[in-house]
């Protein structure tokens, strides 16, 4: 009974003594926060690394390393913290009790360290387990986020219950904090790449764009007030040899920006030194042209027609409601002295009533010429009303199409990559894949630039240079209608509008496949404010059932030889919508050392309104400008020419030559052979630039080799690459025709020039209303020596387009391409040893 009474007294005493929740909070804090830290930091680290390399092994290894490092760090930190507290309390006990201590009541630093490490590990194991069994990258990320979310809610709830805190608030606090940490960490690589350049050729970062604007405002107050306008801003790249010598880890060369601007009606080409904060060069009107148009120009000009009484009367006379009117598609060109001395633009209007495809509803016969700087109409031409084509059948948006399509359904498909993509993107713009490494960046004018492309020799492991820089230099689209309102439709899309600002975000799964990696672009607004172009470039691996090489042998008794290798390539893609046309640019890298460049065109035709609805209505009046492709719609014949700047550096830049390999027919004398003729190869080294001005001909065939005569194979052949043209077309315009004067780079399909860093744009630096005085033709006619020098290959890809009914209301994609292919560059087939695919390595879908 005494024992029971004592027990009851002890229980009563315990009940009367309030529990100190602050003491409980100490170990709860260590346990819950340790697990929470392990959970969030490991998941964030895995997602951050996964943004760069997406295969499951890398993510798991990163997570495990984070677990070990974090657990050790937490243990050491907790040990030091508790031991410090331990020492303080022991000292306090000695002071209060005259030297006696009760260490048994003190926390153990060792146990605290072990507990902290275990708590951290417990949290860290959650994202590791979530990722371990999911091979597809995007699904893996989703599973990690879901698992971490559940664990965060559980930890928040547990901490709240044990700590007697509000459950909802505690759980939300932990959940939001964890999500925020994962979001920030997963974007750290991207954000870091935006804020700081890592490579001499990296595009201007957002802080650099802002700094350029600040420097310009100090140089010319107009840049601050708005009277001076920025039309283009890009990195002024360092000297080539300085870039070539640079290695990762070296200090970057001084960063400079090149700015094309307008101030007080004059063109300015400014060089801004970001390191010194000064404008080091300001060239005023260096040529007769003007800088690239801005979106601000285009929008402002589109509003000018509505100010004209004469224009409004013409629209009313045609019975077109102003609510359905849109005036865009500016064009200019150069057609003589009367259009010089001011920025001139020409406009046509369209009806958008009952359709978004206003390009198919031109308001024909009414044309305007506008002074862009004064925003005043210079001239109105009204040749009388022409029937506006109907909106029926012009719709192209899937959700609004009501027509029955008599095509059997094709199931969705995608290429699966169980371990994620094989390529890596380092520091935002440096790409590594298979045996290739190259720098890629968005560009306001060219859209996309590939630089410092190197390939690793599969036999020796040597990294060898192939191309220093490649990009679309100009895109020339002349229309073949000499009539009023149409004769000036001869576009220079890169130099007048810019392929970069015209780019639209690439659409996942349709523009680019699953597992694609996207790169954003940043350009300067007319006021110098950074503008984001999201998903401007994508990178992805392509496999479409193509074969890299194969051979089967049946002539060897007792053997069964069937060797085949799948052809997998890496594609860098950029697409832009320049007015009515959409262009898709692909740079495709192959493991055999080939670079294949493809340009595809889609979008809408530039059409002309007509009174005719059927070709029978024409009788003998066959339309000069093109065929009838729908009722009241003429598809105007036109050309597309894309000129590529290809700075080939075969095993170095200083010692390359251009070799024309001619296939010459040889006639055999009677009695020599039963054959009458054969082809013989003869090689000619181009001595000067004029030797390398080449028009392609099927009946006078050549191969075109870029070689390094100082680098020989074991057989003595010079290492080289050859240009392999695809289908092509030549410009048939007279050389004195104003559009052809500006587009003189299409006078030949192939050019080779001496390297000059200022000669990059085939139509000239200032393209708008230029007179052709600064073109590739002019540079090449200087006839500089190109043998065993640093030289540049220029190739113009082209096609004539005679429209047809299948191009209405939106064009099926058409494409043309060329290849840069190794020739005696490797000692043998470089992909002989690549492994075949096996069923066991593929996912089960």
- Beta-bridged to residue 533, according to DSSP, are 521
SS3 at position 657: strand
Torsion angle of alpha carbons 779, 785, 791, 797, nearest 10°? 50
Identify each DSSP E strand in 60-132 by its residue range: none
SS3 at position 321: coil
Interacting residues of 453 by C-beta distance below 8 A, sequence separation 6+: 436, 437, 438, 465, 466, 467, 468, 470, 589, 595
Peptide bond into 809 cis (omega under 30): yes
- Beta-bridged to residue 629, according to DSSP, are none
The one-character DSSP state at 126 is H
- Report how far residue 390's alpha carbon sits from residue 351's, in angstroms, rounded to the nearest whole number: 10
Please name the helix (run of DSSP H) or strand (run of DSSP E) that holds residue 426, with its range, or none: strand 424-426
Question: How many CA atoms lie less than 13 Å away from 44 in the CB half-sphere?
Answer: 19
- Report how far residue 51's alpha carbon sits from residue 425's, in angstroms, rounded to the nearest whole number: 9
- Report how far residue 799's alpha carbon sits from residue 642's, in angstroms, rounded to the nearest whole number: 9
Burial of 349 (0-12, 13-18, 19+ CB in 10 A): buried
46 closest CA partner among 162, 151, 126, 159: 126
Instruction: State the CB neighbour count (10 A cutoff) for residue 821.
Output: 19
Do the beta carbons of residue 230 and residue 241 sit within 8 Å?
A: no
Please name the helix (run of DSSP H) or strand (run of DSSP E) that holds residue 87, with its range, or none: helix 56-97
Helices (H), 533-595: none
Do the beta carbons of residue 424 and residue 432 sit within 8 Å?
A: yes
Catalytic residues: 493, 581
- Report how far residue 675's alpha carbon sits from residue 656's, in angstroms, rounded to the nearest whole number: 38
686 closest CA partner among 705, 669, 672: 705
Paired sense of beta strands 430-433 and 424-426, if any: antiparallel
- Beta-bridged to residue 760, according to DSSP, are none
One-character DSSP codes across 191-244? HHHHHS--STTPPPPHHHHHHHHHHHHHH-THHHHTSEEEEEEEE-PPPHHHHH
**Cα dist. 525→60, 206, 223, 420, 454 in Å?**
42, 12, 12, 37, 34
Question: How many CA atoms lie less than 13 Å away from 344 in the CB half-sphere?
Answer: 19
Q: Which residues of 263-281 are buried (b: 16+ CB within 10 A; e: fewer)?
A: beeebbbbebbbeeeebee
Residues in the chain: 845
């Amino acid at each position: 009974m005494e024992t029971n009474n004592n027990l009851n007294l002890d229980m009563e005493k315990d009940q009367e003594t309030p529990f100190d929740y602050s003491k409980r909070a100490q170990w709860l804090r260590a346990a819950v926060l340790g697990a929470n830290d392990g959970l969030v930091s490991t998941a964030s680290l895995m997602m951050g690394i996964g943004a760069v390399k997406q295969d499951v092994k890398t993510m798991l290894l990163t997570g495990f390393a984070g677990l070990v490092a974090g657990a050790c760090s937490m243990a050491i930190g907790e040990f030091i913290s508790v031991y410090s507290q331990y020492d303080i309390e022991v000292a306090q006990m000695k002071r209060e009790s005259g030297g006696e201590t009760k260490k048994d009541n003190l926390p153990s630093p060792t146990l605290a360290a072990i507990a902290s490490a275990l708590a951290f590990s417990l949290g860290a194991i959650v994202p590791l387990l979530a990722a371990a069994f999911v091979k597809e990258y995007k699904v893996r990320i989703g599973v990690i986020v879901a698992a971490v979310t559940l664990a965060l809610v559980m930890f928040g709830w547990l901490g709240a219950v044990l700590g007697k805190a509000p459950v909802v608030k505690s759980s939300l606090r932990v959940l939001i904090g964890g999500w925020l940490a994962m979001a920030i960490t997963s974007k750290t690589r991207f954000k870091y790449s935006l804020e700081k350049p890592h490579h001499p050729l990296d595009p201007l970062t957002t802080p650099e764009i802002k700094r350029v604007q600040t420097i310009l405002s100090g140089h010319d107050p107009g840049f601050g007030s708005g009277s001076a306008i920025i039309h283009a801003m890009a990195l002024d790249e360092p000297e080539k040899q300085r870039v070539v010598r640079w290695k990762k880890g070296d200090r970057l060369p001084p960063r400079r920006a090149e700015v094309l601007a307008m101030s007080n009606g004059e063109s300015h080409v400014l060089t801004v030194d970001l390191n010194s904060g000064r404008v080091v060069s300001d060239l005023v009107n260096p040529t007769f042209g003007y800088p690239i148009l801005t979106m601000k120009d285009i929008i402002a000009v589109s509003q000018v027609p509505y100010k004209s009484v004469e224009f409004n009367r013409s629209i009313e006379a045609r019975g077109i409601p102003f609510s359905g009117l849109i005036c865009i598609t500016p064009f200019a060109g150069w057609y003589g002295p009367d259009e010089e001395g001011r920025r001139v633009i020409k406009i046509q209007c369209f009806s958008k009533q009952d359709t978004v495809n206003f390009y198919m509803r031109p308001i024909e016969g009414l044309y305007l010429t506008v002074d862009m700087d004064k925003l005043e109409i210079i001239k109105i031409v009204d040749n009388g009303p022409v029937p506006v084509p109907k909106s029926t059948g012009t719709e192209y948006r899937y959700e609004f199409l009501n027509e029955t399509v008599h095509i059997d359904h094709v199931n969705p498909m995608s290429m699966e990559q169980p371990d994620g993509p094989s390529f890596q993107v380092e520091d935002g713009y440096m790409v590594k894949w298979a045996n290739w490494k190259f720098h890629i960046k968005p560009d306001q004018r060219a859209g996309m630039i590939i630089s410092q492309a190197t390939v690793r020799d599969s036999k020796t492991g040597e990294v060898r240079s192939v191309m220093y820089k490649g990009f679309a230099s100009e895109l020339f689209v002349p229309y073949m209608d000499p009539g009023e309102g149409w004769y000036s439709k001869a576009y220079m899309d890169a130099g007048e509008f810019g392929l970069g600002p015209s780019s639209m975000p690439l659409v996942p799964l349709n523009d680019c496949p699953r597992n694609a990696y996207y790169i954003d672009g940043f350009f300067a607004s007319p006021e110098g404010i950074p503008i984001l172009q999201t998903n401007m470039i994508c990178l992805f691996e392509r496999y479409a059932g193509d074969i890299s090489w194969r051979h089967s042998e049946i002539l060897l008794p007792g053997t069964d030889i069937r060797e085949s290798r799948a052809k997998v390539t890496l594609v860098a893609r950029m697409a832009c919508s320049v007015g009515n046309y959409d262009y898709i640019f692909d740079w495709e890298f192959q493991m055999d050392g080939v670079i294949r460049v493809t340009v595809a065109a889609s979008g809408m035709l530039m059409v002309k309104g007509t009174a005719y609805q059927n070709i029978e209505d024409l009788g003998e009046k066959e339309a000069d400008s093109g065929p009838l492709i729908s009722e009241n719609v003429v598809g105007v014949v036109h050309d597309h020419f894309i000129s590529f700047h290809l700075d080939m550096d075969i095993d170095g830049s200083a010692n390359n030559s251009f070799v024309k390999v001619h296939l010459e027919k040889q006639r055999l004398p009677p009695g020599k052979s039963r054959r009458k003729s054969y082809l013989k190869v003869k090689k000619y080294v181009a001595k000067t630039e004029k030797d390398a001005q080449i028009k392609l001909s099927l009946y006078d065939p050549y191969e075109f080799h870029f070689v390094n005569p100082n680098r020989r194979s074991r057989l003595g052949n010079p290492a080289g690459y050859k240009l392999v043209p695809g289908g092509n077309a030549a410009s048939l315009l007279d050389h004195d025709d104003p559009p052809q004067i500006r587009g003189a780079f299409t006078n030949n399909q192939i050019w080779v020039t001496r390297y000059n860093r200022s000669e990059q744009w085939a139509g000239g630096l200032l393209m708008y209303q230029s007179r052709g005085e600064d073109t590739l033709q002019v540079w090449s006619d200087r006839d500089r020596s190109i043998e065993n020098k640093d030289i540049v290959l220029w190739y113009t890809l082209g096609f004539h387009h005679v429209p047809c009914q299948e191009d209405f209301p939106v064009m099926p994609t058409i494409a043309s391409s060329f290849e840069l292919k190794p020739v005696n560059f490797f000692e043998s087939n470089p992909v002989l040893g690549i492994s075949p695919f096996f069923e066991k390595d593929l996912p089960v879908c």
